[in-house]
Structure 1
Amino acid sequence: MTVPARVLAVADSDSYLKWTAGLLDHLPEDWSRRLAVVRSPITPSPEQIRSALNGTGSKDPAVVTARGLVRVITEHRPDVVLLGCTGPVVDTLSAMVLGRSRPVLVSGLPGISVPATERAWRFRSAADLFIVHSHHEVAEFTEIARRMGLPGRVGLARLPFLAPAEAAPVRDRVVFATQAKVPVERGQRESILLSLAALAERRPDLRVVVKLRALATEEQTHRERHSYQTLWDEMVAEGRVRAGLLTFDAGPMREHLAHAAGFVTVSSTAALEAIAASVPLLVLSDFGVGAEMINLVFADSGCLGTLADLERAEFRDPDPAWCAANYFHAPDADDWVGTLTDLVRTSRGGALPVPTRLVRRKGLLAEPKARLRLQLSPTMVRQLSGIRRAVRR
């Protein structure tokens, strides 16, 4: 039996906002919930916010500074603070939040987290509950916590956005989900675009869509060195490809998948959304399969394929046994809400452990600088970073 609780959830980027809003939808109905976006250099645009919240019960979250967030916590005194943010921001906000009150602190990761890393736990070392999304991840992160001597518990939650919209009457799209971090090299990204163009030439019955995480003027969770849209425009100008073959769109992934006949990525949590939507897929192996490509978890999935497979529209269905072990466990295996309920009871009894912070930034001004990044406007942060780089040169 749950106990009614007040939950304040905080996100800092588009991917974390999508994840955080989805988790809120799975809380008990009698729990109150608020959602806010903390201002930072990667604050999502209004359009990104609308896209991230598509299909969730959350609407119009307030965008606040870190100091404004502390004021909200002081005024509303939530039982639970869910920090759905990138690691450094979680660490900074943890110190600010726990310096004023002692709510149950929850954090986690918004997608595929194999292999588990100490770094992810280190930034979230003050968390009472660390949420991940497969039995595989629970085992690895629990072992890391034991090795690091952290009291925080690891909870299992099915990824909240693995509930696709109803399929469209006609499935006539191939959707390529980009990933900001991989592949790194310009030439590798151009080879993907060339194969997508070849598919579009060969299959005029299919609309080939490059699903962007952000437009050129928008920020995203991870910095992207070579924008696919910019590369494509340059390739068109050079005469290497024909204009109009590909469509670039940053709309909600669930809407694209509802129309998709096939899906392709190098590494993206959206591959799991495709599986949930019963869309055959390819996880490209041309650039390697491993931790550095963030696709190690797909090694035994039955979904690996090549650019040549993509050009022939030869997509795969995943292995059912792999699905059961990775992200598609039975719903009743989820234990994070029960664990959170226990922690709320413990908190009300005043028995939560003293929080741990493992990150120690170097220099007297390191902590103030980390907080300042969450106080200044993103534009000012970028300007100051540019000045600092110029001074160093």
Structure 2
Amino acid sequence: MPPRRIAVLADSDTRWKWGASVARQIAPEHALDAVFLRTRATPTERQLAEIGIVPDTRREVSAAELVDDEELAGADVVVLATAGGTTLALTHSLGIAWEARERRPVTVTGYVGVVYEKMVDGLLTRAGTDVVLANSAYDADRFRGAFASVGVDPDSVVECALPFLGGAPYAPSADRPFTLTFAVQPSVPKGRESRLQLLERAAAHARCHPDRLVLMKLRSLPGEHTTHVEADPYQVLIEELAEPAPANLQLVYGNMGEVLDRTDLLVTVSSTAALESMHRDIPTAILTDFGVREAHGNHYFVHSGCLASWDDLDAGALPRVDPVWAARQGMGKSDPYAAARARLAALRACGSLPPLRPYYSPQRAGAYLGGILERNGFDEKGRPLPVPLGGGGAGPLRAVVRRAARSGAKSLYRVGREKVAPTLRRWGQP
């Protein structure tokens, strides 16, 4: 009997981290197939190595190529770790392609981090999959209420927690310097001036506390894409500080869990890393210097008890998360994916599953759905859009662009090795 398989469709490094972590939680005995969608943010080798989850098989495809993909159709479970629009396009198109099959995979989707904006917008693009994971009781209540109000089965929402919450509880160590880690975000704050100001402030804190180690935990190399575009990377901005960076300010890469192993204070504007830190009871500061604003996402943490400014941190503040708020956000659970595994078992026991039915259909929202399908390479019937006649259409052009991108990636690594790496070595271990 062939091994049972769970396939994770991912379109960026952060969504691969979430999807693969979910797969390990809900189907730990299944073989893990990685299916990366070709996008501007398709993960690089370095990003995949940093995440550290090694799949049993791996390939890269376009979304449209998945409609007739027999390997995908033969999986037991498919995790859609994709943006909302792509999830909708795939649910629509795969639903049509799989409708005549006696057996189809169970489909699972959810959110990479906290849902602090566009809740209904994103949720309804995920409606129609078999399981929609909610990372907290707070999210589960909101999701079920919205689904029930628009006629989507609220039982498809299953409460869990962020799958990468883990690691040993915080314990101070006398064997290393007190370490403040700033979790960098690609687009928060936005703009060169604000990002340089943040870096200046981190450097000032390092000068104020020469006994501390201040780490800037980076997400990507300059030019390397993640879920959000990073226009002004700190690796470049550090050369523009008003004064040379102090020796105890370092730029670092690496797995976030491993960086947290040596962290005594996690600081961020609104990174999901804050939840990882809070879960481990590490002092965590949600930075207020750029305002507490919906645009920054830090308004989500208003009731956490962890809002603080750089001035507060300079004065020695070590914020600790409010335990009631933390529990409401899904932290501290002993087995947060038990309900998801039970839901999967119940669905598999049904034998033949009903067809996938997204909330957005051609009848309900034809104009909206049509645009999303086209952007993902599908027509309204869920079929791949045809290549223009003449052999010089979009398909061959995309192939050329992909080859150029791959070549560019190699150049990027050369730049990183020959120019960025020496700079990083001056500030710390990359």
Residue 170 of structure 1 corresponds to which residue in structure 2? 176
Residue 273 of structure 1 corresponds to which residue in structure 2? 276
1:48–1:214 contact (8 Å) kept in structure 2: yes
Map 1:1-393 onto structure 2 (within 5 A). Answer: 6-52=5-51, 54=52, 56=53, 58=55, 61-74=58-71, 77-101=74-98, 102-114=104-116, 117-151=119-153, 153-164=156-167, 170=176, 172-235=178-241, 239-242=242-245, 246-332=249-335, 334=337, 335-346=339-350, 348-351=351-354, 354-357=357-360, 360=366, 367-371=373-377, 376=398, 379-380=401-402
Q: Which moved more, 1:105-114 or 1:288-297?
A: 288-297
2:32–2:56 contact (8 Å) kept in structure 1: no
- Measured in 1, the distance between the counterparts of 2:149 and 2:143 equals 10
Residue 391 of structure 1 corresponds to which residue in structure 2? none
- Measured in 1, the distance between the counterparts of 2:50 and 2:249 equals 21
2:177–2:211 contact (8 Å) kept in structure 1: no
Secondary structure of 1:231's aligned partner: helix
- Measured in 1, the distance between the counterparts of 2:257 and 2:157 equals 28
Secondary structure of 1:338's aligned partner: helix
Q: CA RMSD in A?
A: 3.2
- Measured in 2, the distance between the counterparts of 1:363 and 1:255 equals 42
Cα displacement string for residues 13-58 of structure 1 (whole angstroms, at most 9, x for unaligned residues):
1111111111111124444442322221110110101112x2x464
Letter in 1 for 2:159: L
- Measured in 2, the distance between the counterparts of 1:352 and 1:319 equals 43
Residue 409 of structure 2 corresponds to which residue in structure 1? none
Letter in 2 for 1:339: R
2:37–2:61 contact (8 Å) kept in structure 1: yes
Q: Which moved more, 1:372-381 or 1:80-89?
A: 372-381
2:167–2:257 contact (8 Å) kept in structure 1: yes
Question: How far does residue 290 in structure 1 lie from its aligned partner after superposition?
Answer: 4.0
- Measured in 2, the distance between the counterparts of 1:266 and 1:231 equals 18
- Measured in 2, the distance between the counterparts of 1:306 and 1:256 equals 22
- Measured in 2, the distance between the counterparts of 1:227 and 1:206 equals 24
Q: Structure 1's 369 and 124: CA in aligned 2 closer, same or farther, altered over 3 A?
A: same
Letter in 1 for 2:376: A
Letter in 2 for 1:192: L
2:95–2:356 contact (8 Å) kept in structure 1: no
Q: Structure 1's 251 and 227: CA in aligned 2 closer, same or farther, altered over 3 A?
A: same
Secondary structure of 1:223's aligned partner: coil
The alignment-based identity, stated in percent, is 28
Question: How far does residue 215 in structure 1 lie from its aligned partner after superposition?
Answer: 1.2
Secondary structure of 1:109's aligned partner: coil
Secondary structure of 1:141's aligned partner: helix
- Measured in 2, the distance between the counterparts of 1:363 and 1:326 equals 32
Question: How far does residue 306 in structure 1 lie from its aligned partner after superposition?
Answer: 0.6
- Measured in 2, the distance between the counterparts of 1:116 and 1:141 equals 12
Q: Which moved more, 1:67-76 or 1:80-89?
A: 67-76
Secondary structure of 1:182's aligned partner: coil
Question: How far does residue 134 in structure 1 lie from its aligned partner after superposition?
Answer: 0.6
Question: How far does residue 81 in structure 1 lie from its aligned partner after superposition?
Answer: 1.4
- Measured in 2, the distance between the counterparts of 1:28 and 1:171 equals 40
Q: Which moved more, 1:210-219 or 1:181-190?
A: 181-190
Secondary structure of 1:7's aligned partner: strand
1:39–1:377 contact (8 Å) kept in structure 2: no
Question: How far does residue 287 in structure 1 lie from its aligned partner after superposition?
Answer: 2.3
TM-score by length of 2: 0.77
Q: Structure 1's 28 and 95: CA in aligned 2 closer, same or farther, altered over 3 A?
A: closer
Q: Structure 1's 336 and 364: CA in aligned 2 closer, same or farther, altered over 3 A?
A: closer
Q: Structure 1's 379 and 316: CA in aligned 2 closer, same or farther, altered over 3 A?
A: farther
Letter in 2 for 1:109: Y
Letter in 1 for 2:38: R
Letter in 1 for 2:328: A
Letter in 2 for 1:89: T
Q: Report the structure number with the largest CA radius of gyration.
A: 2
Secondary structure of 1:242's aligned partner: coil
- Measured in 1, the distance between the counterparts of 2:404 and 2:305 equals 43
Question: How far does residue 75 in structure 1 lie from its aligned partner after superposition?
Answer: 6.5
- Measured in 2, the distance between the counterparts of 1:196 and 1:378 equals 42
Q: Structure 1's 62 and 281: CA in aligned 2 closer, same or farther, altered over 3 A?
A: same
Question: How far does residue 329 in structure 1 lie from its aligned partner after superposition?
Answer: 4.7
Secondary structure of 2:303's aligned partner: coil
Question: How far does residue 204 in structure 1 lie from its aligned partner after superposition?
Answer: 2.3
Secondary structure of 1:339's aligned partner: helix
1:6–1:78 contact (8 Å) kept in structure 2: yes
Q: Which runs of 5+ in 2 are unaligned?
A: 99-103, 379-384, 386-393, 406-430
Q: Which moved more, 1:293-302 or 1:163-172?
A: 163-172
- Measured in 2, the distance between the counterparts of 1:242 and 1:30 equals 48
Q: Which moved more, 1:90-99 or 1:193-202?
A: 90-99
